[in-house]
Amino acid sequence: MGSFGKKVLVVDDEAHLRDLLQSLLELNNISTSCASSGEECLLMLESSLPDLVLLDVMMPGMDGWEVFHRIKEKYEHLPVVLLTARNHDFDKMMGLDILKAEDYITKPFGNDELIECVCSLLD
C-alpha cells in the first residue's frame, strides 16, 4: 500500500505525533512535510501545495477549525483530514457534516486505519 509521489502536510502542535505520522507515512512511500501550528501550515501552503492535509483540531493559537476554514477558502479542492482527540458526536458532526472534511479520525488511531484513509484519498 502507498501512494508513491504524493505529498501530505502533517499539522500538529505535538512534535512526537508529527514525527510518528511522518515516519508512518514515509514507510508507506508517502512524502511528508510538517507544520507545528495553523499559521505555519498556511504559510507552507503558499509556497507548496500538498495532495492532502492531516490537520489536528486542538492547537494553541489558531485552532484546526479556523485553519480548515482558511484552507478551504483558498484551496477549495485540497483534501483535509481532521485528526483529533475530540471524539464527541458534535465534533464529528461539525467536521464531517458541517465543514465537509474528507474524514475525521480520532486519537488514538490505528496505523492501518490512518494509512487506509490517506491512501484512499490520494488515489
pLDDT tens digits for 70-103? 999 999 999 999 998 877 777 777 777 677 889 9
Considering the domain boundaries, does residue 1 fall inside one?
no
Please check whether residue 2 lies inside any domain of the structure.
no
Enter the C-alpha cell of residue 63: 485552532
Say yes or no to pLDDT of 61 above 70: yes
| pTM for the whole structure | 0.91
Burial class for 100, CB neighbours closer than 10 Å (0-12, 13-18, 19+): exposed
**Residue 65 resides in a domain:** yes
Number of domains the chain contains: 1
| CATH number reported for the structural domain that contains residue 91 in this entry | 3.40.50.2300
Q: Indicate whether 28 pLDDT > 90.
A: yes
**44 pLDDT band (50/70/90 cuts)?**
very high
